[in-house]
Amino acid sequence: MVTRIPPRTTRQPTRQRIRFRLFLASGAAATAIAAGSVIPLSPLLPAAPQAQAAPNTLNAPKALKAPMAPAAADGKKVLTVAVDQSVDSLSPFLAQTLLATSVHRLSYEYLTNYDAKDASTIPGFATKWASSPDKLTWTFTIRDDSKWSDGKQATAEDAAWTFNKMMTDPNAATANGSFTSNFKKVTAPDPTQLVIELKKPQATMTSLDVPIVPKHIWENVDDFSKFNNDKKFPIVGNGPYVIEDFKVDQYIRLKPNKDFWRGAPKFDELVFRYYKDKDAAVAALQKGEVSFVSGLTPAQAAALGNAENIKVNDAPGRRFFALATNPGAKAKDGEKFGNGHKALLDPDVRKALFHAVDRKTIVDKVFQGHAVEGQGYIPPRFDSYFWQPSDTQKIDYDPAKAADLLDKAGYEKNGSGKRVGDDGKPLNFRILCHATDPNDKAVGKYLQEWWGDLGIGLEVECLDNVSDPWLAGNYDLAFDGWSVNPDPDFVLSIHTCGALPATAKDTGATDNFICDKQYDDLYAKQAVEYDVAKRTDLVKQIQSRLYDTGYMNVMVYPNAVEAYRTDQIKSITTMPEAAGNIWGQDGYWSWWSAVPADGTGEASSDSGSSTGTVIGIGAAVVVVAALGLFFMMRRRSTAEDRE
């Protein structure tokens, strides 16, 4: 083997030099960071004595702001909202995600709106509405003080065109087609009159959540399945904000509509900025880079609750979080499919399972108080529809009773403490959980232990996409949850027999294959009931029936936990106005009503960008210096070569 030892003579001097360089180099990464930290000083730093004391321009944030950041120079009030969902499309005919539909709420008018106080229907694009005695013809009076942002008057003609497009072009019905599938004819006899004729009565006529688009812009669109409405800015609309700019998964920028009939919003700009990571979003809020963050975890809420200038809003949510059992999946034609556990067809077994769920612990431990114990199907936030089981109906936490029910149902414990059925097989269930939902996983852990104590095994199957086994009926239990709209029609419709798939191969709108005659009768009655009080009563009866079937059990109603910076937002309307939420409202109230804080609450991007400028320079200098150093050393080496 060839020796690798270099001649001794040259060793000493080189070694020293090289070792010096080596140490220098080893610390290069650290140096880069350190260099970055020396140069800039965040103006948002709460306690930085130098900032006040030193006349040094580098350390004085105010001196920096004006010249370095052009966007900041005019002192715009920017409201920045952190979002983690993608905008699937800016076309109201295609958009499905909550973020996209929220943006549409801000940029287009709907016929009606929901009152911020109690979510009751109030005028939107329409000022008045009336139905004919046979309940089949609806006449909407369209307001005459709404203008498109390009200056044209918005009229009933635009609304009629929007609905007709959705009725005639299936591609335009992608997002909201369910509202118009029952429409027979839509006309606009004059600019302030919209007449809709129905095939059969429809209870959702005063809650048609369909953005009305300007006909003169949209009639030029060829293919509604491909047109995303994101090429030409600003996007013509008539809502409180106008979409100015959009980059997929980066930001959506909106400007206030100065001519908005209800009054212009107070902020100069509204930006939805995309943060894939919730922690990154919360960090941005702590630093003032964003004004608002939603969907906080209990730990984040607690940490932000102690922070200065940040208000945590813990509001009753509009979701329910339930356990659903597979009632034996079947299609409309009667064909059964899936591999749901037979034992769950026994109402007593299901009841026993629900009896062994300690909802209070789930509220206290998993949600750490940021949730309300589950009762009926519709969350208490919608107090007119909220229903509670009577004492005789109620399935409360009672493990002893659960054990009793199981014993009676024929599943007694064997020697090793497992419940065994008549077939001699131990009782083991699977539960479908959404891999992306931490609450599913957490509750799954508790269920495993509670039901384990009962002698029932539970396998928590977490998947990114649960819909495949779900639709195929290949599950025993599942975590289920829906956001409830002010009008409960949809969430009620998904438990009717009509929602079952037509055949085993089809997909239906059904939530978990519940099909109950009594339930269906009640549902059909409420769907055509125009009298609010009577319909409310029917909705409560429906919930009572659903509870009694025992196919699903609502565990909790999770709160909406969100936080905003009080030094940027002075006031903001929640919905419901008393103790309500801000993100995902049914109207545009929050962002329309937000009032900027004065003085110090200068918008985030200003301060961010000036620090950014400084740090950017710092980073660039470090990179250039590192490269320069490298090449210098190379040059020097070459020079040495030539000696």
Partner 1 sequence: MTIDKTPPNPSEPTEPAEPAEPSGQVPETNETAKATTAKPTAPSASSLAWARRRGSVSRFWRQYRTHRAGLIGLAGLAVIALIALTSPLFIGGDVQSVTDAPGTALESPSGEFPLGTDQFGRSLLGLLIWGARISLVVGLLAAALSVAIGTLVGIIAGHYGGWFATVVMRITDWFLVMPALVLAIVLATVMSRSIWTVILAIGVTAWPTTARLVRAQTIAVESRPYIERAQALGGGHGHIMTRHVLPNVMPLVLAQTTLGISTAILTEATLAFLGLGDPSVVSWGGMLQDAREAGAVSSGHWWYLAPPGIAIALVALAFTLCGRAIEAVLNPKLGVSR
Partner 2 sequence: MSSARTPGVVRDAVDGPVKTGPSGGPRTRARGHRTDYLLYVAGKLGGAAVSLFAVLVTSFFLFRIIPGDPVKAMTHGKPTSLEQMATLRKQFGLDLPMWQQFTEYCAKALTGDLGTSYQFHAPVGELIVEKLPATLLLTGVAVLIYSTLGLWLGTRSAWRHGGLGDKVNTGVALTLWSVPSFWLGLLLIIVFSVGIGPIPGMFPSGGMQSGNETGFAHVLDVAHHMVLPVVTLVAVGYAQTLLVMRSSLLDEMGSDYLTTARAKGLRDDLVRRRHAVPNAMLPTVTMIFINLGHVAAGSILVETVFSWPGLGGLFYQALSVPDLPVVQGLFVVFAGAMILMNLLADLLYPLLDPRVGR
The pattern of x and - marking residues 362 through 401 that bind partner 1 according to CB under 8 A reads: ---x--x---------------------------------
DSSP state of 430: E
The C-alpha atoms of residue 588 and residue 572 are separated, in whole angstroms, by 11
Please identify, using beta-carbon distances, which residue of 127 and 182 lies nearer to partner 2: 182
Q: Nearest distance from residue 192's CB to partner 2, in Å?
A: 29
In whole angstroms, the minimum distance from the beta carbon of 181 to partner 2 comes to 6
Note whether 468 binds partner 2 by CB under 8 A.
yes
C-alpha span between 123 and 521 (Å, rounded): 32
DSSP, collapsed to helix, strand or coil, labels residue 619 as: helix
Q: What is the nearest approach in angstroms of partner 2 to the Cβ of residue 364? A: 28
Of 216, 242, 211, nearest to 96 by C-alpha is 211
Which lies closer to partner 2 via its Cβ, residue 68 or residue 595?
Answer: 68
Cα–Cα distance for residue pair 619/630, rounded to 1 Å: 17
Q: Which of residues 342-361 bind partner 1 (CB under 8 A)?
A: 361
- Give the whole-angstrom CA distance, residue 184 versus residue 175: 19
Q: Which does 307 bind (CB under 5 to 8 A by kind): partner 1, partner 2, none?
A: none
When asked if residue 299 is in the footprint of partner 1 (CB under 8 A), the reply is: yes
Q: Which residues contact 499 (CB under 8 A, 6 or more apart)?
A: 493, 508, 509, 510, 511
Helices (H), 120-222: 156-168, 177-180, 215-218
| Shortest Å, Cβ 584 to partner 2 | 12
Taken in order 330, 335, 337, 340, the sign of the CA dihedral is: positive
Which is it for strands 569-571 and 319-325: parallel, antiparallel or unpaired? unpaired
Interactions with partner 2, residue window 384-403 (CB under 8 A): none
Minimum CB separation of residue 441 from partner 2 in Å reads 15
Neighbours of 577 (CB within 10 A): 13
Under DSSP, is residue 118 helix (H, G, I), strand (E, B) or coil? coil
Per DSSP, 268 falls in state S
* Contact partner at residue 616 from partner 2, partner 1, none, CB < 5 to 8 Å by partner kind: partner 2
* Residues 451, 430: Cα–Cα separation, whole Å: 12
**Tally of CB atoms within 10 A around 535:** 21
Phi, psi (rounded to 5 degrees) for 47? -115, 80
Binding mask 212-251 for partner 2 (x = CB under 8 A): -------------xx-x----------------x-xxxxx
Rounded to an integer, what distance in angstroms lies between the CA atom of residue 222 and that of residue 241? 26
Angstrom distances, CA of residue 207 to CA of 182, 252, 486, 633: 14, 27, 9, 72
- Exactly one of 620, 624, 632, 636 binds partner 2 (CB under 8 A); which one? 620
* 261 binds, options partner 1, partner 2, none, Cβ within 5 to 8 A by partner type: none
Work out which of 160, 271, 296, 582 binds partner 1, going by CB under 8 A: 296
The identity of residue 283, as a single letter, is: A
**DSSP codes, 486-552:** SSTHHHHHTTSGGGS-SSTTS--S-SS----HHHHHHHHHHHT---HHHHHHHHHHHHHHHHHHTSE
253 binds partner 2 (CB under 8 A): yes
Determine the Cα–Cα distance for residues 81 and 270; give it in Å rounded to an integer: 8
Q: How big is the site for partner 2, counted in residues (CB under 8 A)?
A: 111
Scanning residues 443 to 482, which ones bind partner 1 (CB under 8 A)?
Answer: 444-446, 448-450, 460-464
Verify binding: residue 490, partner 2, rule CB under 8 A.
Answer: yes
Euclidean distance between CA atoms 34 and 48, whole angstroms? 18
Partners of 479 in the beta sheet? Answer: 323
Contacts to partner 1 from residues 255-284, by CB under 8 A: 277-283
Stretch that binds partner 2, among 113-121, 255-263, 294-302, 616-624 (CB under 8 A): 616-624
Residue 250 binds: one of partner 1, partner 2, none (C-beta under 5 to 8 A by kind): partner 2
Which helix (H) or strand (E) is 121 found in, with range? strand 121-123
Residue 444 contact partner, candidates partner 1, partner 2, none, CB within 5 to 8 A by sort of partner: partner 1
Nearer to partner 2, 206 or 544 (CB): 206
178 makes contact with partner 2 (CB under 8 A): yes
Q: Which helix (H) or strand (E) holds 43?
A: none
**Do 107 and 242 contact (CB within 8 A), yes or no?**
yes
Q: Which residue from 96, 436, 467, 483 is in contact with partner 1, where contact means CB under 8 A? A: 436
By CB under 8 A, is residue 297 in contact with partner 2?
no
DSSP 235: P
Q: Which is nearer to partner 2, 253 or 355 (CB)?
A: 253
Smallest distance from partner 2 to CB 118, Å: 23
Among 61, 64, 65, 69, binds partner 2 (CB under 8 A): 69
Give which of 572, 86, 577 is closest to 292, Cα–Cα: 572
Closest to partner 1 by CB, 76 vs 365, is 365
Site for partner 1 in 535-564 (CB under 8 A): none
Give the residue with the Cβ less far from partner 1, 445 or 634: 445
Select from partner 2, partner 1, none the partner in contact with residue 619, using the beta carbon and a kind-dependent cut-off of 5 to 8 Å.
Answer: partner 2
Nearest distance from C-beta of residue 184 to partner 2, angstroms: 16
Residue 263, contacted partner among partner 2, partner 1, none, CB below 5-8 A by kind: none
In the complex with partner 2, the residue whose CB is nearer, 212 or 282, is 282
Binding site for partner 1 (CB under 8 A): 1, 4, 277-283, 286, 296-300, 302-304, 361, 365, 368, 433, 435-436, 438, 441-442, 444-446, 448-450, 460-464
